[in-house]
Amino acid sequence: MLNSLSGRFLVLTIVFVMLAEVLIFVPSISRFRLDYLSDRLERAQIASLVLLADDMLETELEAELLENAGVFNVVLRRDEIRQLMLSSPIPQAIVATYDLRMANGFTLIGDAFQQLVSPENKIIRVIGAPVRDAGLLIEITMERAPLRMAMIDYGVRVLLLSAVISVFTALLLFAAVRIFLVRPIKGVVGYMQRYAAAPEDARGIIQPNAGVIELREAEEALLQLQTELNQALRQRERLAQLGGAVAKISHDLRNILTSAQLFTDRIEMSEDPLVRRLAPKLVNSITRAVSLCEGTLAFGRAEEPAPTFSHVRLCELVEDIAESELLAETAVEVKITNAVPKGMQLRGDAEQLFRVVMNLVRNARQAIIATGKPGEVTVSARDEEDAWWIVVADTGPGLPKRAQDNLFTPFQGSARKGGSGLGLAIAAELVRGHGGMVTLSKTGPEGSVFEIRLPKGDGTL
């Protein structure tokens, strides 16, 4: 109970109301004491007026008047004359004098609490102003114990009333919190639990209906989260199905390409100069296709295999990519420029780096072809102290906003209609295997620039 939100509200309300009542109690007990003493002064004044009306009071009547007033004697000052109006024997000496005419709030509060903590029954003198201007001052002597008992009785009643008010207020707040806050929160939690148990069940998706602004915002945020998760789950399921299909296709394609590899051995024996020139490239292409199929099968089982590091001549690798791409005839002329310094070597997996650069070059080339205008793709590189940099720049139309937001995300990061976006996703994963990263450093109407960073040493960035 106390660990719940409403239970804690209940306890806090009681505590805060009691605290407020205590703050009220301090001046109220002081006010009660002032009223009590003022009442005694007023009674004493009335008794003294009886004496003024009849100077010859009997001793028994005088004692009765003093007893009714609750005092021992009364002194009234009228016309600059201080006169003992009523008197009776005082059992002990006066220990304190309180002048109510000049006391401020802090003085009254201090005197009241001093009265509460002093249990001894002492005699005190109280000075005040007579009511209705019946003199200059009136002075009485009285016992302190009756005043203290009256203050304690008043204080207990105030505290009991405060406790009742606190409990009643807390119960009202408890009910309000349960109705307007806890119940809607439990509804949101219920939707979350149902959705977690069966994400595919549309009945678990929340329908915002809260009247409280903050709760409404929480419900709308949950609705957005559930909607995005549903889309991600459906896409993940489709990707899983596609992955299974690709694995099967890659398995059969690998067998077909393996057979084609056997036929290329016969082609290499041809005497035709053109065939002899193109045969090695055909062999290399088929070998890479077989390797890609095997890598796809490995990806279906886990992820891209770890790179096999060796010294790679980057200029020759880019030249091979350029020749392979230019074999495909197109209506739009796209120039591929190899600006990699000759003799530059870096450490990496040659096959994986070939795939990375080829994917970037092919994407850039296809983007230029889609515009219908001639363009150029330039591959350059630089060797820095802590890393190698490979830069692929094009004069294409640039990447649209959606492609930039989903860059390197499979099936979402393609800028070309009908594209899968797998090229950039594969490139990013392969570069991460080298401890590096692929970034889009610039894009716009003048073209796009991708940068590949391959760290040296232990591969840390």
DSSP string, 313-341: EHHHHHHHHHHHHHTS--SS-EEEEEESP
Question: pTM for the whole thing?
Answer: 0.42
pLDDT interval class at 438 (50, 70, 90): very high
Residue 22 vs residues 28, 35, 153: alpha-carbon distances, Å: 10, 20, 16
State the pairing for strand pair 123-128/94-99.
parallel
pLDDT interval class at 249 (50, 70, 90): low
Phi, psi of 310 (to 5 degrees): -160, 175
Phi, psi of 292 (to 5 degrees): -65, -40
pLDDT tens, position by position, 28-71: 888 888 888 888 777 777 766 665 555 555 666 667 777 777 78
**How many residues can be counted in the chain?**
461
pLDDT tens, position by position, 87-124: 778 888 888 888 888 778 888 888 888 888 888 888 88
pLDDT interval class at 453 (50, 70, 90): very high
Residue 99 vs residues 39, 102, 347: alpha-carbon distances, Å: 14, 6, 99
Contact between 175 and 104 (Cβ < 8 Å): no
pLDDT tens, position by position, 396-409: 888 888 777 778 77
* CB-CB neighbours of 204 under 10 Å: 18
Looking up tokens 């609705």 gives: 223
Residue 128 vs residues 62, 160, 203, 402: alpha-carbon distances, Å: 21, 32, 79, 87
Q: Which of 220-224, 273-277, 348-352 has the lowest mean pLDDT?
A: 273-277
State the pairing for strand pair 345-348/137-143.
unpaired
DSSP letter (8 states) at residue 131? G
* CB-CB neighbours of 358 under 10 Å: 20
Q: Which of 154-158, 280-284, 444-448 has the lowest mean pLDDT?
A: 280-284
Show Cβ contacts of residue 347 under 8 Å, excluding neighbours closer than 6 positions.
Answer: 309, 310, 311, 312, 454, 456
State the pairing for strand pair 123-128/387-394.
unpaired
- Mean pLDDT, the chain, rounded, equals 78
Q: Is residue 293 over pLDDT 70?
A: no
Identity of the highest mean pLDDT range in 97-111, 225-239, 353-367: 353-367
Sheet holding 447-455, edge to edge: 334-339, 375-383, 387-394, 447-455, 437-444
Contact between 94 and 124 (Cβ < 8 Å): yes
DSSP letter (8 states) at residue 356? H
Q: Is residue 174 over pLDDT 70?
A: yes
Q: Name which CATH class applies to 309-455.
A: alpha beta
Q: Say which residue, 333 or 84, is predicted with more confidence.
A: 333
Distance (Å, whole) CA 179 – CA 300: 52
Distance (Å, whole) CA 425 – CA 110: 79
Residue spans of the domains in the chain: they are: 5-169, 200-303, 309-455
Write the Ramachandran bin of 224: left for phi over 0, alpha for psi from -120 to 50, otherwise beta: alpha
